[in-house]
Amino acid sequence: IKKIGILTSGGDAPGMNAAIRAATRSAIAAGREAVGILRGYQGMIDGDFIPLQSTDVSGILQLGGTMLKTARCKEFRTPEGRRRAKEQLTAAAIDAVIVIGGDGSFTGAWVMSQECDIPFVGIPATIDNDMYGTDYTIGYETALNSVVCAVDKIKDTARSHGRIFFIEVMGHEAGLLALNSGIACGAEVILIPESKAQHDELQKFLEKGYRDKESSGIVMVAEGDEAGGALHIAEQIRRDHPDLDVRISILGHIQRGGSPVARDRINATRMGIAAVDALLNDQKSIMIGLDNNRIVHVTFNKAVKMNHSIDTGLLEVHNLLNGM
């Protein structure tokens, strides 16, 4: 392997830049060339490549977003799109690719690596932390802290007015961000797609907990919750309990931005180095993961096909503290 392409794909996540920097510098340290592929798979199809020197990745460690830009690329899902991407890689003599992204990005890498002989290695980066085979994905820790800061502020106004706030948190189909931020903020109720029973907790809170001991309340709603998001749930509650003072706050993309916290920078750096290391040791079609804080390799096959799980013990912790 002489030339390693690096791309970021799917939703951006704070810490992606730290991974780009680490992969670039470790490739150069190993006597290889590093090339940035702009706008994820779209840039691969368009041949949008930039050489990366060590100085090109200076000053990006602390920046949110991704210096390589990102995209969700439909064309890459077609055989024709992937054929064009392969031609562009070959023309640029890129002979290995590091993909920094989530499960959609790894599915693309997995499909393409079965169709051609270019090795792909993945680095998990998504604020959802929903990848099988790794305890951690880049960006999650920063997003978690952003949610906690936002909810702390909402609690001030909720308490002042005696209101119940339904706060919607990102996470796609996973509830980890909502669950952990709910615990960190002392939310009264947490609704996540992984546990239907939490809806009973909401009813208990509204019928008893709120009137008995609370003057305000926070209900964290994972966007993937089956009842349909904060807006939908809150409107239902307003209909059923017209006496309650209900407000809705959808935190939105504020959760994806901002300077990465130290943990995201450190893990992204470790993973960037591990990805180059894996390629130079003839690994392919694997995702770099962290298991008990140790670097592991997880096959794309497993990473994209198996479901993530949540620690149900955390739900018990939450329910216990809220007297449910």
Binding residues for Mg(2+): 103
- The footprint of ligand F6P on residues 236-275 (CB under 6 A) is 256
Out of 12, 46, 56, 128, the active site residue is 128
Answer whether 126's CB lies under 8 Å from 101's CB. Answer: yes
Site map for ligand F6P, 217-236, x if CB under 6 A? Answer: ------x-------------
Cα(169)–Cα(253) distance, integer angstroms: 10
Determine which residue in the list 33, 128, 141, 168 makes contact with ligand F6P, applying CB under 6 A. Answer: 128
Cα(194)–Cα(176) distance, integer angstroms: 9
Total number of residues that touch ligand F6P (CB under 6 A): 11
Specify the residue, 205 or 300, whose C-beta has the smaller distance to ligand F6P.
Answer: 300
CB-based burial label for 194 (10 Å; 0-12, 13-18, 19+): buried
Biggest alpha carbon distance in the chain?
A: 70
> Residues annotated in the binding site for substrate, as ranges?
126-128, 163, 170-172, 223, 247, 253-256
Specify the residue, 40 or 81, whose C-beta has the smaller distance to ligand F6P.
Answer: 40
Specify the residue, 94 or 190, whose C-beta has the smaller distance to ligand F6P.
Answer: 190
> Residues annotated in the binding site for ATP, as ranges?
11, 72-73, 102-105
Q: Which is it for strands 286-291 and 246-250: parallel, antiparallel or unpaired?
A: unpaired
Per the annotation, the verdict on 156 as an active-site residue is no
Answer whether 45's CB lies under 8 Å from 81's CB. Answer: yes
Helical ranges in 162-242 per DSSP H: 176-185, 198-204, 210-213, 229-240
- The footprint of ligand F6P on residues 144-163 (CB under 6 A) is none
Single out the segment in contact with ligand F6P by CB under 6 A; choices: 25-33, 124-132, 229-237, 295-303: 124-132
- The footprint of ligand F6P on residues 166-185 (CB under 6 A) is 170-172
**How many CB atoms are located within 10 Å of the residue 3 CB?**
17
Give kind and range of the element (H or E) at residue 103. helix 103-115
Minimum CB separation from ligand F6P for residue 183, in Å? 19
Question: Going along 49-192, which residue ranges are E strands?
Answer: 49-52, 96-101, 120-124, 164-169, 189-191
- The footprint of ligand F6P on residues 50-109 (CB under 6 A) is 72, 102
Determine which residue in the list 126, 145, 198, 283 makes contact with ligand F6P, applying CB under 6 A. Answer: 126
Minimum CB separation from ligand F6P for residue 170, in Å? 3
Minimum CB separation from ligand F6P for residue 308, in Å? 12
Cα(204)–Cα(1) distance, integer angstroms: 60
Q: Which residues bind ligand F6P (CB under 6 A)?
A: 11, 72, 102, 126-128, 170-172, 223, 256
Active site residues: 128
